[in-house]
Structure 1
Amino acid sequence: MVRITCTGMRGSSLLAGLCFLLSLAGVVAQKTKGTCTHCPQNAFCVNNTHCTCNHGYNSESGEKYFNYPFEICEDIDECKPPISIYCGVNAQCQNIKGSFYCHCISGYKLLSGKARFNDSNENTCQKITPSKTTNSTKEMQQVIKNIESLLTNKTVLEEKRNITTILQKVESDVLKTALETPDQKIQKVQSSTVAVETRVVTDNCSKEAIFSLNTKVNSMKINCNDVIQGNTQGPSAVAFISYSSLGHIIDATFFEEMNEEDQVYLNSQVVSATIGPEKNTSLSQPVTLNFQHIKVKSRVKKICVYWKGTKEGGHWSKDGCALIDTNKTHTICSSTHLSSFAVLMALHGQEEDPALTVITYVGLSLSLLCLLLAALTFLLCKAIQNISTSLHLQLSLCLFLAHLLFLTAFDRTENKVLCAIIAGALHYLYLASFTWMLLEGLHLFLTARNLAVVNYSSVNKFMKWLMFPVGYGVPAVIVAISAASRPHLYGTADRCWLHLDQKFIWAFLGPVCAVICVNSVFFLMVFWILKRKLSSLNSEVSTIRNIKMLTLKATAQLFILGCTWCLGMLQVGPAAQVMAYLFTIINSLQGVFIFLVYCLLSQQVQKWFGEIIKSKSESEAYTLSSRFGPDSKPSEVK
């Protein structure tokens, strides 16, 4: 469940409202515990009134007893300050969820042969016999050399079907070497092309014991119980292997689901994970794999895959693999089985064009300035203040806030909760912009429909009563429903926007398409009404002229602000690059268009600007005259 933090948002009713809606979705998803309906995970109920965290956990707020529904019980890391459990010499503390344990450092073992103990009083860590350590390390180094010779044998690698056999042999040799020297619990050996870490288990595991194995830039976490598989008669082992050059041999061309229009490439080292002596691949808990990217890429699709052996040789497959988290430099995957793994990256069509980024930032910055000037004009110019101007003002404000948030926070993905709030706010603001466009279309239609009526007060009263509840209320309802049903789909790994998974993007595109369709109908009906009225009334009638001008402006506005989103959906195929440029240029200049059409091209606004300039000139002339006196001549002024 995503935890929503609303601290510091009281000054913005819009974001605070969105935060509340997203938080509400989290509350609904919580499970009850005991008789308290609000206790979070890792907590229990006290006296049917308050919650307290389980042993080994602390509340995020620091309170021992709490009833705040969004509190979180966090694991106490006993191995770090201020607790810093001391395990004695040649030993170190290992934190686990809700508890901890001590274990001997590499090269040492307990006299009992066990893997862990509770505190320094039970510390019997003794140095492992140097001869055994040296011999086992040499054996593992020899295994690494054999692996390198296999990977550099071009004759062997020419037959791609040999890849699966090679991977299986490497895993078998590494496990065999580790199990032959069970006294050396941990072995880490690496060369320029291969890195190996093994872990040997000689006793039972606790329920939450997790092994973490690291090889250069990659790592793996696996449950201890999955390593021993119930085997208590002898040692068990887990091996994690990284290949720095194998990706050039089994590259992305082996991916079974690659589309022709996508550019897919392998962007991590190939790693292998295996357990023994029994190679049972069924796991009670998924194994977690952390990959470092070879190339830093942000806005691309990451795909977790494993090597699936076949009679023909093998290929990369997504079965049983899932993407947990990703950023520009790392990707975390999970798998329900053990095999060899990697991360693929798919570029849909073309890579991100730096020119599009420049156009976006320059265009949006210019639009922000124009939207601000337009809003000030709508507020200060009394000659144009009416219902239409009020609608323009609200549209300008919504677009200004949406563009400002997009420009400053669209890629702030470091904090997932904050990113989800930003995505929700953008969803709301852009929907509100389209809703105000719909209200403009409705107002035009109602005005044209009442052309024969001298008194337009009924239309004005209706719009004044309707516009604010609809303009800001309808988008809020849509965002509330979306956030309550799928709060985890707000914010992606690269952008603070709506996820494409489960077609969630239609929570935005659906209302947008509906507004465009309804407004198109309104404008067609207005044109039809005007045609009829022009045949019976004088074409110079000011009311008809005004409505004609407003209709043309609103139609152009619908195209500029609405239909351009259709260009975003058409960015596929050979015309994708052209559509991307058109979409970026037109969308980033929306504010410029509004200021140009509704302000600079308005005769009333031009007259208002002229009066301001004239009054300013007269004021300066009066000041100059007062300073030098009425009898002063120009030649006397120096």
Structure 2
Amino acid sequence: MALPQPLLPVLAAQIMGGTRFRVFLVLQALRLLTLLEIESGNIAASASTACARWCPPNSSCVNATACRCHPGFSSLSGEIITSPLESCDDINECGPPLTVPCGKFADCQNTEGSYYCTCQQGYEMVSGAKVFRNASENTCQDIDECTLNPRICKGRQICVNTPSSYICKCPSGFKFDQAHPKLCSDVNECASEQKPCHKSTHCLNTVGSYNCRCRPGWKPMPGSPNGPNNTICEVDFPTWTLPPGIKSQSLSRFFEEVKDLGRNFKPAVAQDTIKKLIESLDNLLEDPQDLETLALPSRHHIATYLLSGLEEVLRTLALAMPKDSFTHHSPKNTELSLMIQEQGNGNVTMGQSHARMLLNWSVAAGSNNSGPSMVGMLSSENMKKLLDNASLKLDPEKKAKLEKIHESPVNGAKLELLSAVNSVFLSNKNTEKLDSPVTFAFSHTWKEPKEHQELICAFWKGDNVSGGYWATTGCWKLGSQNKSTTCRCSHLSSFAILMAHYDIQDPKLALITKVGLALSLVCLLLCILTFLLVRPIQGSRTTVHLHLCICLFVGSSIFLVGVEKKGEQMGLRCRLVAGLLHYWFLAAFCWMSLEGLELYFLVVRVFQGQGPRKRWLYLIGYGVPGLIVAISAAVSAAALNGEGYGHKFHCWLDRQQGFHWSFLGPVIFIILCNAVIFVTTVWKLTQKFSEINPDMNKLKKARVLTITALAQFFLLGCTWGFGLFLFNPRSEVLAYTFTILNCLQGLFLFLLHCLLNKKVREEYRKWACMVTGNKYSEFATSTSGSSHNQTRVLRPSESGM
């Protein structure tokens, strides 16, 4: 701006004027500033007179009469405002009609006086920028949430990306759980109404899917794999062939009939096929023909083969039946019962005329079988023909229990089948050890068990050597009544009720006992007649011999005919037999003690007189055993209620209450005393042979001494000492030794006291001559007499014989 012209001369004069000039200059400067302010005010006033003062907000002055709205704003009349009543309002570029193109997947965002574009939710720009201005800058694309956060869906859910978002859904074979909507649970396709598998298969559900598998005993049809949902199966009918080493035309015909049934089989006629199979089986068993001519092991092997094969075939046919249960009773009294249930649980009871069964469905199904559960039972009366004369293998625990009860070894048993043979089979093939036992009630012919007999629950077990045998391991009898026996078993097989007659005694030992006692009785009778009729040998020793033989004869006779107990109850007859045996055998041992006493006086105290007189002999021989028996009977009646006499298996003294010691105690005392006398006698005789005749050769001396020792050994009853060492009944050596020596005691006495005695032999010759009518020669007598005089010194040894 230019200064006013009149001021310039003044300003020049002042600059040239010294101090006064300086003061003047300051004053002029102040004036100048004042003038400048006034000039500025004038300029502003001039300008205001050129623009309108009423322009509204968001606008600018154009001139004194008009205003212009800023960009992004407009008025009702447009961009230029000429009236103070108008206003500049924001233009909504994003409002309809849309005037700003942002492009696909983008939204317009209005601002005060402007706008910008953003990607829609679920989209983002490639560059990562948040805003842009027009469609040419639009690079919006979908955000893949499933890739950015793989664990965005919980549990088994799978993430599925969608335009601008995502969804979580359950995979195939799963569905949202109603209790937990955000979790997926398995879909049991097999339980749906629409069966996903062919009717020839069973559906096996898996996690997220399912399989269609052939039923047990079925196989996939050619070209059809086992497992997919299009699997189709056919019955795998077993093919039977003859067992190795067995030839049988009747069995071959049966196998051909079964093969024909398999060729024509259809599931719809499964029941008819079963009936025809049982009919063929009945025809085979009712008339076995050449099967009966086979050896026992072969017959038993065929029985094992048939039983196992029938179970397999019937299991296959049962699972092919359309119905849940089936029962068939053939005219030949063969019965079959079948029950089938899908996913069975709880207990099931199956009954027929031959047997009833109670088991749990879980046992029938097994651990890995998701198909139908099947229970079957085949009962055949005719099967017993192939199982005759089979052996019995007792459980070790049961055998030990029997031996404890019978107080004797159990050497097997004779068997009698009382019931039908009942084969039990399940859809579960692993039945050797069940999780829970199965209870049976078998109907059978009733027979009251006698002595050494028992009703037992047994099962058939195959064996490569014997073909098969009955066994009891894992089966227990619970009780018997009304022609029925209840059993419980921890495994399944073919069962039957047997009557077992146990061989408590060794049959060979029993035969030796009977034959030996019969022979001894004959010899003892000859001894008694000899001692009574042969006068040359009469004396105190002969008296002892006589009464010893009488006691042994009576006791052995009673033992042979009466020791076996008749019936279960202990009757008066058995108690009387036990009492008589007690007395007569004690009497025999008392006379044996008198034999020892006589021998002691004869050999040891030969120069100090003879033995006791006859009245003492009778008193000791018959009085002492009578006293012992009387005391024992009184104790039995008072303390044991009369149960001392009578064993539970024999008519003898009771062992359980220790009553047998009333016999065993005196016997042990007598045997020990006689054993001492026997040793002393042999020792004394050895000395006497050396003193009397030192020139006797050693062989003759040993022979005479041996014969004498044997005579005294049997005479004194020392053979009974073997029974003292028979603690274990299973010791066969001691048992046979004891039985043979004591059953033949009468024979030994006859040989040693009659046949080897010269005087007795002379009498036998006389009797023989009298019977035959020949004249007896006196030469033998004179010779015998002279010889007797020459060897008088050997009398002790001769008397000992």
Which range, TM-score by smaller chain? Answer: 0.3 to 0.5
Output the TM-score relative to the length of structure 1: 0.43
Larger radius of gyration between Structure 1 and Structure 2: 2
Which structure has more RCO (C-alpha within 8 Å, separation ≥ 6)? Answer: 1
Output the TM-score relative to the length of structure 2: 0.35
